[in-house]
Amino acid sequence: MKRSRFPFVMTGVVLVFFYLPILILVVESFNSSRFGGAWRGFSLRWYGRLFHEPAIWESARNTLLIAVVVTFISLALGTTAALALHRFGRSRLQRVHYTLVYTPLVVPEILMGISLLMAFVAAGVSLGLGTIVLAHVTFCISYVALTVLGRLQDFDFAIIEAARDLGATGWTATRRVLLPMLAPGLAAAGLIAFTLSVDDFVITFFVAGPGATTLPIRVYSMIKHGATPLINALSTLLLALTFGTVLVSQHLTASKAIQSIPPE
């Protein structure tokens, strides 16, 4: 029987749908024309101009600073929440706890942004980088907790008990046994929290104050007046940074796997 080509055609269509806009964006970033659609020759003028836009780099600095702080706070609180959910059964209190952890995942972002804004205003908290960090932690904790909780499903706590029986203190067992075994889950949860914080626009738009502009808000303010080659150049640099990070991560993972292979 002749094999159907439909799956291959659909796969090609999906890949084109996903990656053709990115390819167009990258190509247009090297277009000397100010307006897209008409190729006027290869040029790096927009990249040169991009490096002379201090407002963009200040926004990028704010974004990275917020993302790093949010990642560490979310990892600490989310991992604690996951351990509590896993170790202390399915009591009524734990069901309430699970609901509180799961709710930020299903609440619309615009509703969460408005709610957080009203809470900060009612509490008299000045909007700024601090309120952005608190808002991002609010939803990043949920992703971290559920990611680590999935890792804990296959974890055998008898190993911790064995370490305690051999004389290890609770802190030593946690540091030398629990955390290394949870490291893949923690790394995945940290990357998710970092990515969500860097990418968030809706919630940040509501809780950001004067002088607390992040990169997504800066891009939004630039694109309101129409797409410009500066945005294409900035997006290409972010894309290159993302691919570079992934390649370095894969290289380190492969090197670690090769070193772990015992010699014959």
> Would the pLDDT of 254 be above 70?
no
For 201, list phi and psi in degrees, rounded to 5: -125, -45
State the pLDDT at residue 25. Answer: 84
**Angle, helix 109-123 to helix 129-152, in steps of 10 degrees:** 130
Give a yes or no: residue 247 inside a domain: no
Report the C-alpha dihedral over residues 116, 119, 125, 131, rounded to 10 degrees. -10
**What is the domain-level CATH number for residue 65?**
1.10.3720.10
Taking CA 26 as the corner, what is the angle to CA 242 and CA 254, rounded to the nearest 5 degrees?
30
Tens of pLDDT, residue by residue over 234-249, are 888 888 877 776 676 6
Residue 73 and residue 50: Cα distance in Å, rounded? 32
Task: Scan for tokens 């963009």, then name that residue.
Answer: 56
State the pLDDT at residue 221. Answer: 84
Higher pLDDT, 22 or 259: 22
Q: Residue 97, class by beta-carbon neighbours within 10 Å (0-12 exposed, 13-18 middle, 19+ buried)?
A: middle
Tens of pLDDT, residue by residue over 127-151, are 988 999 999 999 999 999 988 888 8
Give a yes or no: residue 243 inside a domain: no
Residue 166 sits in which domain range?
A: 60-212
- If one counts the domains in the chain, the total is 1
pTM exceeds 0.85 for this model: no
State the pLDDT at residue 260. Answer: 45
Higher pLDDT, 252 or 218: 218
Give a yes or no: residue 49 inside a domain: no
* Mean pLDDT in residue range 7-21: 88
In three-state secondary structure terms, 42 is: strand
Q: Give the confidence band of 259 by pLDDT, cuts at 50, 70, 90.
A: very low
Give a yes or no: residue 21 inside a domain: no
Tens of pLDDT, residue by residue over 45-70, are 888 888 888 888 888 899 989 999 99
State the pLDDT at residue 256. Answer: 47
State the pLDDT at residue 37. Answer: 64
State the pLDDT at residue 248. Answer: 67
Give a yes or no: residue 259 inside a domain: no
The gap between the terminal CA atoms of the chain, to the nearest Å, is 47
* Mean pLDDT in residue range 106-131: 90
In three-state secondary structure terms, 229 is: helix
DSSP-derived letter for residue 140 is: H
Give a yes or no: residue 180 inside a domain: yes
Lowest mean pLDDT among 37-46, 144-153, 214-223: 37-46
Give a yes or no: residue 228 inside a domain: no
Percent of the chain with pLDDT over 70: 89
Show Cβ contacts of residue 138 under 8 Å, excluding neighbours closer than 6 positions.
Answer: 104, 112, 116
